[in-house]
Amino acid sequence: MTKGFDNLEFEMRVKRARELMEKNNIDILLLTTPHNFRYFSGLDSYFWESPTRPWFLLIPQNSDPIALVPSIGQTALEKTWLKNIKTWSSPNPKDEGITLLKDTILNLLPNNGVVGCELGHESHLRMSINDFDMLRKDLSKIEFINASKIIWELRMIKSHNEIKKIKKIISLTSNVFDNLPKKINIGMSEIEICNIFKKELIENGAEHTLYISCASDKGGYDQIICSPSNKKVEDGDILIIDTGSTFDGYFCDFDRNFGFGKISKESQDAYKVLWEATEAGLQKIKPGCSCSDISNAMMEILKKSGLKSNSVGRMGHGLGLQVTEPPSIHSDDKTILRENMIITIEPCFEYLPSKMIVHEENILVTNNGFELLTSRTPERIPIID
């Protein structure tokens, strides 16, 4: 599969953005974060890890997108579909592109207007608050409003080209997970196991493993977010690996559990409850269903089996250019599923104090139901002797 997209993909994204901008009376979208910049430009770079320089992308209602970037980024931007690129010499802490940004907005909106920004849910500005305040002060006739809702409305629905890339990374990661029991054993450390896992991912076509968490203990674990440690797995342990790996910028995000030696009946029963809760969640997925419907279906199974609390807070989320995106699979999230959304479902069963097991699957919402993209976790926990 080739990397990147043809120009038509980006033209369609801008077209859809402008339709939503018109409905919400927004004249310009101002984008500053890596994933939104990439979504509309196609720039493939991890230079974002350097926080020194801000990058700006303007999507006007009535003219071509404009990239305003530090001069170091000009050549890279010229390789994308963007034609209108402006630069400034950076680093320049006294004026980190703000004069250029202000002048460009004034040229587009000489009298007044509305600029939509990344100000809302699961969004942030990748520029200093002081610079943003200065921009609003100097452009007092222009209104700066929250446009996060329309950005997420765009990004939650994946194009067929995006779906292909997400399917690829999920498929190859599923294969690596499925084959991992043959390559690990009791006595290995979490770090050793995860290094084998990451090496297999890269050799099978993943580009980056930007997120990996690992935990292990007797019959379960007490958290699911920390990096692997030097702890060696022992008889009776359950180990979880959760990965957000990428192909061409698009993520998978799911986990698998492995038992070592003799696993207690109590923990095996808890694992089976989770499998059944996941099944209940899967059967709810279709266009028109709400995220809360899925969450409640899984929670019903867990509560019947003795769940007292859920410290994870939600049981799944959206997936795409970021390892977690809106919506949340949560009882309070009433977002309605639509065709070509990609979500995860991730029930957590804390079946004893400080003892949990978690399952996660990745799913595409189809026109009349769902397509499971991960290879389904086994109904009974894989045992490694």
Q: Where exactly does CATH 3.40.350.10 map onto the chain? A: 7-156
CATH superfamily assigned to domain 160-384: Creatinase/methionine aminopeptidase superfamily (3.90.230.10)
State which residues of the chain have pLDDT below 50.
none
Q: Is 139 helix (H, G, I), strand (E, B) or coil?
A: coil
Cα→Cα distances 374→68, 173, 319, Å:
39, 8, 13
CB 337 within 8 A of CB 287: yes
Which residue has 């006739």 as its token pair? 141
CATH of 7-156, one of 1.20.58.340, 3.40.50.150, 3.40.350.10, 3.40.50.170: 3.40.350.10
Q: What is the rounded distance in angstroms from the CA atom of residue 179 to the CA atom of residue 200? A: 10
Q: Tell me, what's the pLDDT at 309?
A: 64
- Which residues, at least 6 apart from 356, have a Cβ–Cβ distance to it below 8 Å? 220, 221, 222, 224, 311, 348, 349, 350
Computed from CA positions of residues 105, 111, 112, 113, in that sequence, does the dihedral angle turn out positive or negative?
Answer: negative
Instruction: Please state, as a whole number, how many other Cβ atoms lie within 10 Å of the Cβ of residue 79.
Output: 11
List pLDDT tens digits, range 251-294.
999 999 999 999 999 999 999 999 999 999 999 999 999 999 99
Which residue has 């004034």 as its token pair? 106
Q: What is the rounded distance in angstroms from the CA atom of residue 46 to the CA atom of residue 172? A: 23
- Which residues, at least 6 apart from 38, have a Cβ–Cβ distance to it below 8 Å? 44, 249, 321
Q: Is the peptide bond before 327 cis (omega within 30 degrees of 0)?
A: yes
Q: Where exactly does CATH 3.90.230.10 map onto the chain? A: 160-384
Which residue has 């949340």 as its token pair? 328
- DSSP class of residue 28 equals E
Q: Tell me, what's the pLDDT at 297?
A: 96
Specify the pTM. Answer: 0.96
Q: Tell me, what's the pLDDT at 311?
A: 72
Q: Tell me, what's the pLDDT at 220?
A: 95
- Residue spans of beta strands (DSSP E) within the chain: 28-31, 56-60, 66-70, 84-88, 113-117, 142-146, 208-218, 237-247, 250-251, 254-260, 316-318, 325-328, 342-345, 348-352, 355-358, 361-365, 370-372, 383-384
Instruction: Please state, as a whole number, how many other Cβ atoms lie within 10 Å of the Cβ of residue 372.
Output: 14
Which residue has 């250019």 as its token pair? 321
**CA neighbours closer than 13 Å in the CB half-sphere of residue 311:** 13
Q: Tell me, what's the pLDDT at 305?
A: 87
Q: Tell me, what's the pLDDT at 308?
A: 65
Q: What is the rounded distance in angstroms from the CA atom of residue 311 to the CA atom of residue 35? A: 28
Cα→Cα distances 186→65, 226, 240, 280, Å:
55, 21, 14, 33
Q: In what order do the strands lie in the sheet with 370-372?
A: 325-328, 316-318, 342-345, 361-365, 370-372
**Parallel, antiparallel, or unpaired: how do β-strands 142-146 and 113-117 relate?**
parallel
